[in-house]
Amino acid sequence: MSNRKIIVTGYFGAPIEETAKKLAASEGLEYISLDEEITKRDGRSIKRLVMMNGEHGYRNQEYEVLQELCGDEEEAADTDAPACDAAGNGAGLVIACGDGVLYDDDSREIISRHELVIAGEEMTTDELWENAKAIEDSYHAFMAFGTEEEKRAAFEQLIQRQRNLFAQVRGEDSGM
C-alpha cells in the first residue's frame, strides 16, 4: 500500500475539492476534505469555527487534523497520531485543504514533506471572482460586508497575497 500524500489547496474561488477528487480518482488514492473532517470532528461549520475561535483557532484545528492525516511513523509515535489515512489503512491520500492552509507555518511544514497541487493557477482573477461570489458561507469576512466594489477590492488583495505565498512556497520570486 502507498503512503503517498498529495495536498491540494488553491486560490479562493478555485475548484480545490473538484481538483482533489479528480486527482484521487486518477491516482487511485483515497480523497478527504480537511474542512469536512474538521467539521465532522467538531460538529460546527468552518464559518462558525472561525466566528467562535477566530482564524487562528481554526488554523490550530486545521494543523492538528492535517498532522494526524499526514504524520509519518516517527511523528505518529511522538504525537499519538496514526501513520495512516482517515480510514486507518495506510493507503495513499489526496487531501483537499482550504485556500488559507499555507498561511500557517506549522501546516506549511507538514505540507512541505508531501506533494502539493495548487488549484486555480490557470484561472484569471475574474474567473476566481465569479466562483468566489457563488460560495455560500465563506469564512472570509470581506465577502459578507460592503459594496460589490469593496468586496472585489478585498478579494483582489487576497488573490495577490495568495500569489505571493504560493510563489514563496514553491521557491519562486514573488516580486515582494
In this prediction, residue 82 carries a pLDDT of 40
CATH architecture classification, 5-169: 3-Layer(aba) Sandwich (3.40)
| Cell numbers at 111, concatenated | 505540507
What is the average pLDDT across 128-156? 92
pLDDT band at 170 (very low <50, low <70, confident <90, very high): confident
DSSP string, 12-72: TTS-HHHHHHHHHHHHT-EEEEHHHHHHHHHSS-HHHHHHHHHHHHHHHHHHHHHHHHH--
At 151, which helix (H) or strand (E)?
A: helix 148-169
Q: What is the pTM of this model?
A: 0.84
What digits encode the pLDDT tens for the residues 64-114? 999 999 875 444 434 444 444 444 445 799 999 999 999 999 999 999 999
More confident residue, 139 or 105: 105
What is the average pLDDT across 118-126? 97
In this prediction, residue 113 carries a pLDDT of 93
Under the phi-then-psi rule, with left for phi > 0, alpha for psi from -120 to 50, and beta for the rest, what region is 114? beta
What is the average pLDDT across 59-64? 93
In this prediction, residue 90 carries a pLDDT of 53
Domain boundaries, the chain: 5-169
pLDDT band at 41 (very low <50, low <70, confident <90, very high): very high
- pLDDT at residue 2 tops 90: no
E strands in 42-156? 93-96, 115-119
Looking at the DSSP bridge assignments, the partners of residue 32 are 95
pLDDT band at 173 (very low <50, low <70, confident <90, very high): low
Q: Which of 32-36, 72-76, 110-114, 146-150 has the lowest mean pLDDT?
A: 72-76
